[in-house]
Amino acid sequence: MSDYLIEITGMKKVYGEGEAAVYALDGVDVQVARGEFVAIMGPSGSGKSTLMNIVGCLDRPTEGKYVLDGRDVSQMSKNELAKVRNEKLGFIFQSFNLLPRLSALANVMLPMLYTAEDVSDEEAEARAIAALTSVGLEKRLHHRPNQLSGGQQQRVAIARALVNHPPLILADEPTGNLDSKSSVEIMDILHNLHKSGVTIVMVTHEPDIAAHAERIICVKDGRILSDGRDGHSPCLDHKVLAG
Amino acid sequence: MKLGKIFRTAWEGLMLNKVRSFLTTLGVIIGVASVIVMLAVSAGAEAAIADQINALGANLIIVSPMRGVPGASRTLLLDDAYAIAEQVVGITGISAEQNPAPQNIRAGGVTLESIALVGTTADFPSVRDYAVAEGRYFTADEDERKAKLVVLGAGIAADLFGEESALGQTITVGTTKLTVIGVMEPKGIVSDVDYDGRIYLPINLVLQKYMPSSMLRTASVRTIYLKAESQEQIPSIIAQTTALLAERHDVDAAKPDFTVQTQQDIIATQEATTAAFRDLLAWVAGVSLLVGGIGIMNIMLVSVTERTREIGLRMALGARPANVLTQFLIEAVILSLAGGLIGVIVGVGGSYLFGSLGTMRTEIVPLSIPLAFGAAAAVGIFFGYYPATQAAKLDPIEALRRE
Ligand SMILES: Nc1ncnc2c1ncn2[C@@H]1O[C@H](COP(=O)(O)OP(=O)(O)OP(=O)(O)O)[C@@H](O)[C@H]1O
Ligand SMILES: [Mg+2]
């Protein structure tokens, strides 16, 4: 098995045609090793979310190749992609995306509805409780999202992302809707996850959030502007971020 | 994904909007209830017809005075019955009948009030397929002689004499003492007539003792039943009887003051009334199921729109398009089946209600319940399919972006 969890070569994503064509991604090559914690930065509209959607198997590239965990996913069918998302990926969204009518526990159990092997109710519950405990919410199992703070909601979402034990966690601006105290809590959790060996790819606008990552990829106009591990990145410069 | 989990997920979806879900099922409720009542009315009509045949006997021709013609009720005479018996070819017997006002009857210490009397000719048991269980019926000769004899319905015999034999006992009917010579077999209540609760007398005796004197002078009868030798003879018997009576009554055969009907004729008129009601119900059922189905489709489309983000999330978490499709299809089917269940309850209740109103008989057809459920499920699947495919077709990214 390759050392790389993610191998992307020559990736393009084009919206529209002819004159109106928008190159959201315009030739991206990137590899992410197992266990890395990567931050993606860049100005608004630079293609970060587009890249995340493709990495997250929610979208397919117009051109190029994407190998995830040793398998080429760029040409997979919708059903195959669904299976990959369920088994290999955990999503953390800026807006949490919890189902409001369900308890924290039921929200975390959702991914196990769609696993290939049937998970018994007891096992699903046990796994969900374990995941919620790992984010410190063992006392909030039966609370609904509207009974939880933003930080707690995002922790529920992290538990949901972890419950199927995926090798890769994708977070698109995970702290974008949170105050600084909650942001620190969330970053602590991601930090611990990283230490336990999970690969994390995170999009963020905030330099101090990006500072938690070991590697910062800077994207601009659909291309990779820089990719470094030394804690420096043109994207940390406010002029670049402003576009 | 197991069916049980799909059902639970779908159920949770529906419970989001309980009132809306219930209102959505109304069309299906009405449709299914109509199907059940409709089939109950049909079955009731058929049962009533079977009863009719059972009550009157097979191969019967019924001659009655024309209804609605003034004075016509007195024009059908006992002599007409005798003339038919003598002259019409192809009949095995006739039974002329007259029903005087009910009388009190008394035997020993027991008095029964207001009991129906029937005056008949001697052929009554064979013509009407209604046998004597004990003793015998009176003969034509005894009828003509106005012999003071009576045959009791099974219920009357039991009421008057209990375990004891009624045969040879004397009872007082009105003011006249009659001797019991027979007891009819039990027959029960058929087409609203309590056969066991009546007593049977020679018609000539009835005409003399129990009818108003104006009737006596004309010796009119209420009905003459003719029993045909076979089904094939019936048209010829009708023609002969019509011609004979027209001549005797001195009326135009095309405009008679009497009617000559077969059971089929009577059944046909009865059927016409229930058929109209049945057809109406069929329309109501069809339209309600259609409207109910469209209602379900509409609500499911609204639900898919409202829950676009949820669908996107489920897809991100690994739901395949087929999972989403099944979830929404099952929601539609649960809606329609819930409507079906309530509809069955309403339909069964409604059938009893219509039956108890007395205008028509209803009999719940057990098979109509699975049938109605099947129809409801079919409506759910048919009308739920389109919204479900709309949900399954959603693009996860766009769905997640939707507010
Ligand atoms: N569905 C779409 N149709 C057309 N153009 C699109 C679509 N999605 C994205 N784009 C375009 O692609 C480019 C990249 O968008 P993307 O959402 O990836 O940016 P981003 O880096 O995530 O920005 P932000 O920081 O604001 O989230 C933008 O110019 C955007 O307008
Ligand atoms: Mg974005």
> Are B209 and B308 members of one domain?
no
Q: Is the per-residue pLDDT at A2 higher than 90?
A: no
How far from the centroid of its chain's Cα atoms is residue A131's Cα? 17
pTM recorded for the entire structure: 0.73
Task: Report the domain count for chain B.
Answer: 2
Establish if B241 belongs to a structural domain: yes
Q: CB–CB of A78 and B5 under 8 A?
A: no
Report the pLDDT value the prediction gives residue B71, as an integer from 0 to 100. Answer: 64
CB contact under 8 A, A99 and B313: yes
- Does one domain contain both B46 and B71? no
Q: Which of B223, B256, B289 is the last residue of a domain?
A: B256
Q: Is the CB of A49 under 6 A from ligand 1?
A: yes
Tally the C-alpha atoms within 13 A of residue B110's C-alpha that lie toward its C-beta. Answer: 12
CA–CA separation, B394 vs B133, rounded Å?
79
What are the backbone angles phi and psi of residue A126, rounded to the nearest 5°? -60, -45
DSSP string, A194-210: HHTT-EEEEE-S-HHHH
Sign of the alpha-carbon torsion through B184, B187, B188, B189 = negative
Give the number of domains in chain A: 1
- The residue of chain A with its CA nearest to that of B324 is A114
With CB atoms and an 8 Å threshold, state whether A85 touches B314.
Answer: no
In the numeric block, which tokens belong to residue A196?
Answer: 């336990």
Domain finish residue from B203, B224, B256: B256
Q: Is B266 contained in some domain?
A: no
B124 and B12 assigned to the same domain: no
A2 domain residue, yes or no: no
Nearest C-alpha neighbor of B82 from the set B214, B217, B208, B221: B221
How many CB atoms neighbour CB A44 within 10 A? 10
pLDDT digits (tens, 9 = 90+) for A66-121: 999 999 998 889 999 999 999 999 999 999 999 998 999 999 999 999 998 888 98
Which 8-state DSSP code applies to residue A148? Answer: S
Using alpha carbons, select from B308, B299, B301, B368 the residue that is nearest to residue B340. Answer: B368
Query: What is the atom index within ligand 1 of the atom nearest the CA of B397?
Result: 1
Does residue A20 sit within a domain?
no
- Complex ipTM more than 0.90, yes or no: yes
Residue B208 lies in a domain: yes
Asked whether residue B261 is assigned to any structural domain, the reply reads no
Full domain range(s) for residue B344: 3-51+274-401
Does B356 reside within a domain? yes
Q: Which of B206, B230, B256 is the last residue of a domain?
A: B256
Beta strands A215-220 and A223-228 are: antiparallel
Residue A190 lies in a domain: yes
Is the confidence at residue A209, as pLDDT, over 70?
Answer: yes
Does some domain include residue A23? no
The total of other beta-carbon atoms located within 10 Å of residue A179's CB is 11
Q: For A11-20, A36-45, B3-12, B154-163, which range has the lowest pLDDT when averaged over its residues?
A: B3-12
Whether residue A59 is contained in a domain is answered as no
B287 and B204 co-located in one domain? no
B88 near B237, Cβ under 8 Å? yes
Backbone phi, psi, residue B15, to 5°: -70, -10
- Measured from the Cα of A52, ligand 1's closest atom is 18
Q: How far apart are CA B226 and CA B58, in angstroms?
A: 10
Domain co-membership, B74 together with B213: yes
- Residue B66 host element (H or E): none
Tens of pLDDT, residues A48-68: 999 999 999 999 899 999 999
Q: Is there a single domain that holds both residue B350 and residue B203?
A: no
Contact A164, A115 (CB under 8 A): yes
Phi, psi of B147, deg, nearest 5: -60, 140
**Cross-chain Cβ contact B317/A114 below 8 Å:** yes
CB atoms within 10 A of CB A70: 10
Average pLDDT (A25-51) is: 95
Token reading at B277: 């009601």
DSSP per-residue letters across B80-107: HHHHHHHH-TTEEEEEEEE----EEEEE
CA distance B100 to B248: 25
- Number of CB atoms found within 10 A of residue A64's CB: 17
Q: What is the DSSP string of A176-232?
A: TTS-HHHHHHHHHHHHHHHHTT-EEEEE-S-HHHHTTSSEEEEEETTEEEEEESSS-
Establish if A55 belongs to a structural domain: no
Nearest Cα residue to B354 out of B281, B288, B289: B281
Q: Which domain holds residue A126?
A: 35-47+77-241
A21 Cβ below 6 A of ligand 1: no
B37 and B77 share a domain? no
Residues with CB under 5 A from ligand 2 (ion): A 49
A45 vs B402 pLDDT, higher one? A45
**Residue B151 sits in the same domain as residue B192:** yes
Q: What is the pLDDT of residue B314?
A: 95
Residues B119 and B239 grouped into a single domain:
yes
DSSP letter for A119, please: P
Q: What is the CATH number of the domain that holds A166?
A: 3.40.50.300
| Whether B88 and B210 share a structural domain | yes
In 3-state terms, what secondary structure has residue A101? coil
**Residues B42, B364: Cα–Cα separation, whole Å:** 9
In this structure, the answer to whether residues B229 and B182 fall within a common structural domain is yes
CA distance A232 to chain B (A): 32
Quote the pLDDT of residue B43: 86
Q: In 3D, which of B8, B88, B10, B48 has the Cα closest to residue B326? A: B10
The percent of residues above 70 in pLDDT, for chain A, comes to 97
Q: Which ligand is nearest to the CA of A172?
A: 2
**Structural domain contains residue B361:** yes
The b/e string for B373-383 (b: 16+ C-beta within 10 A; e otherwise) is bebbbebbbeb
The predicted pLDDT at position A238 comes to: 67
Identify the segments of chain B with pLDDT beneath 50.
none
| pLDDT at residue B54 in the model | 64
**To the nearest whole percent, how much of chain A has pLDDT over 90?**
85
Give the span between the Cα atoms of A170 and A212, in whole angstroms: 15
Looking at beta carbons, which residues of chain A come within 8 Å of B314?
A: 110, 114
Best A50, A113, A123, A170 member to test B by mutation, with max B CBs in 10 Å, is A113
Residue B265 in domain: no
In a domain, B269, yes or no: no
pLDDT: which is higher, A153 or B354 = A153
Neighbours of B147 (CB within 10 A): 18
Instruction: Give yes or no for a contact between A192 and A140, defined as CB atoms under 8 angstroms apart.
Output: no
Ligand 1 mutation pick, A25, A41, A48, A219, max ligand atoms within 8 A of CB: A48
Instruction: Give residue A174's pLDDT.
Output: 95
Pair B176, B288 in one domain: no
* Ligand 1 binding pocket includes A204 (Cβ within 6 Å): no
pLDDT at A243 over 60: no
Cβ burial, residue B166 (10 Å; 0-12/13-18/19+): buried
Average pLDDT, chain A: 92
How far CA A209 is from CA of A176, A177, A230, B9, B146, in Å, comes to: 10, 13, 15, 37, 119
